[in-house]
Amino acid sequence: MNAEILAVGTELLLGNIVNTNAQYIAKRLADIGIDVYFQSVVGDNSGRLYKAFELALQRADIVITTGGLGPTQDDLTKEIAAEISGKKLLLDDKALRMIEEYFSRMGRTMTENNKKQAYIPEASKVFYNYRGTAPGCAIEMGGKIIILLPGPPREMEEMFERSVIPYLSQFQEGVLASKILRVCGVGESKVEELLADLLDSQTNPTIALYAKFGEVSIRITAKAETEEKAKDLICPVENEIRKILGNHIYGEGDQNLEDVFGELLIKHKKSIAVAESCTGGLLAGRLINYPGISAVFKEGVVAYSNEAKIRRLGVSEATLSQYGAVSKETALEMAKGICIKAGTSIGISTTGIAGPGGGSIEKPVGLVYAGLCIDGELYSVKFNFTGKRQEIRERTVISVLDWARKILIEKLNSGKF
């Protein structure tokens, strides 16, 4: 089966609201093996909405809408869906009662127009709303299905997980299982090149690459009679991918870099402190995202000026004078200095030119050096990034965390740390 996602709302067309609903629905449909070939956005206009429904029903088995189920006159999705499917709108007593209870819990008076939300196209499968007022529903018509969902993401997501996924499962043949591998340090095109043979020969399981900011996700999906058999199909493919990509694979599923790095530090009881210049606290903030990091994270210093680097981290004036603030030498002294000042076994530093000004031919915007001190042993790395100021800072944090992770694992595996 294939689906089309139809987002309804003039505010989406004007750019006032980002269409996160379509992203969420598309991802979840992929998880259960339903393809999405088209996504559409249409404003709150009855004529254009009717045409959008007509077109979507011509090219998809399932049309999933979000938005336009509210109590006002410009909330038209349900009415147009009823019209195009030839269904009458009938009052659903349970939906009305839930709306009344919602207003009562909120201590607000329910207005008469809210009753409009409790009307559902006849013979529909109703999806009750446990986080808001507007119920959703599924309308089956001539081999096609229209699914209506509310617009607010927190309501839509809860309804999708509670009601839509179970409803759609009846149309699945077999069981799908997926495994996601998280990759950093190589771009999507390089990953595709390295996995070319696997990608060219894929059948079941299938392999899909998804580029994200600073990293790549690899989704391996298999279909079988049972979940256990599907996972058995995934295993050899995963092993082959791990063999090819090695330590560029840093995690699985929903893990992120700070999760993996934080787990390593805590598991091996290695304390850490960071000294930042161009990243201005982003690195410390990323590490602090990980719950429990307080067991090993001691402090973060933003030493932006040369004076701060000298005073707070012990960087020598001679180093700054000879090599400059953005240099391998300064990064190394910053990393060593924060280790000494904080009394930690690991220190990480960043120094660079985030732009948009301040660059030169020798040291262009996007040039970044990082330093790493592990038990007194020093490492450095040089990066050249492109993009806007914030992008360069964020790319620095991702790249430095991944670089430090790889060195830390190598040191731990060697038994020397």
pLDDT at 48: 97
Residues 184 and 92 placed together within one structural domain of the fold:
no
Whether 382 and 305 map to the same domain: the answer is: yes
135 and 187 fall within a common domain: no
- Across the range 10-32, mean pLDDT stands at 93
Q: How confident is the model at residue 63 (pLDDT cuts 50, 70, 90)?
A: very high
Residue 353: give its domain's CATH number: 3.90.950.20
**Are 91 and 137 within one domain?**
yes
- What is the pTM for the complete model shown? 0.80
Question: Tens of pLDDT along 231-271?
Answer: 999 999 999 999 999 999 999 999 999 999 999 999 999 99
Task: Give me the CATH number covering residue 15.
Answer: 3.40.980.10
Q: How many Cβ atoms from other residues are within 10 Å of residue 104's Cβ?
A: 11
Q: Mark which of 169, 192, 227 sits at the end of a domain.
A: 169
The string of pLDDT tens digits covering residues 212-225 is 899 999 999 998 98
> 387: how many CB neighbours lie within 10 A of its CB?
14
Question: CA–CA separation, 21 vs 398, rounded Å?
Answer: 27
Residue 1 has pLDDT above 90, yes or no: no
Q: Could you tell me the pLDDT band of residue 387, with boundaries at 50, 70 and 90?
A: very high
List, in sequence order, every residue forming a beta bridge with 2; answer none if it has no partner. Answer: 35
pLDDT value for 388: 96
Domain end: 252, 278, 299, which one? 252
% of the chain residues with pLDDT over 90:
94
At residue 33, does pLDDT exceed 90? no
- Amino acid 32: pLDDT: 85
Residues 156 and 15 in one domain: yes
| pLDDT over 90 at 66, yes or no | yes
Say if residue 94 is in the same domain as residue 122.
Answer: yes
Q: Which domain holds residue 43?
A: 2-169
Domain boundary, last residue among 194, 222, 252: 252
Q: Are residues 215 and 363 in the same domain?
A: no
- Reply yes or no on whether the pLDDT at 288 is more than 80: yes
- Residues 231, 312, single domain; the answer is no
Q: What is the mean pLDDT of the chain?
A: 96
pLDDT of residue 169: 87
What is the average per-residue pLDDT within 153-168?
96
Residues of the chain above pLDDT 70, percent: 100
- 367: tokens are 């040039």
> So what's the pLDDT on residue 415?
87
Statement to judge: residues 278 and 407 lie in one domain: yes
How many angstroms separate the CA atoms of 288 and 278, rounded? Answer: 18
Q: 342 with 366, same domain?
A: yes
Q: Residue 417 above 90 pLDDT? A: no
Mark whether 154 and 291 lie in a shared domain: no
pLDDT score at 175: 82
Number of folded domains that form the chain: 3
Residues 261, 380, single domain; the answer is yes
- The label of the residue with tokens 């038990």 reads 375
Tell me the CA distances in angstroms from 407 to 110, 175, 268, 278, 400, one per residue in order.
61, 40, 14, 22, 11
CATH code (residue 213): 3.30.70.2860
**Statement: residue 291 has pLDDT above 90:** yes
Q: What is the mean predicted confidence (pLDDT) over 345-364?
A: 97
One-letter amino acid of 206: T
Residue 390 confidence class, pLDDT cut points 50, 70, 90: very high
Handedness of CA 195, 32, 210, 57 (dihedral sign): positive
Q: What is the pLDDT of residue 243?
A: 98
Given this model, what pLDDT does residue 355 score? 96
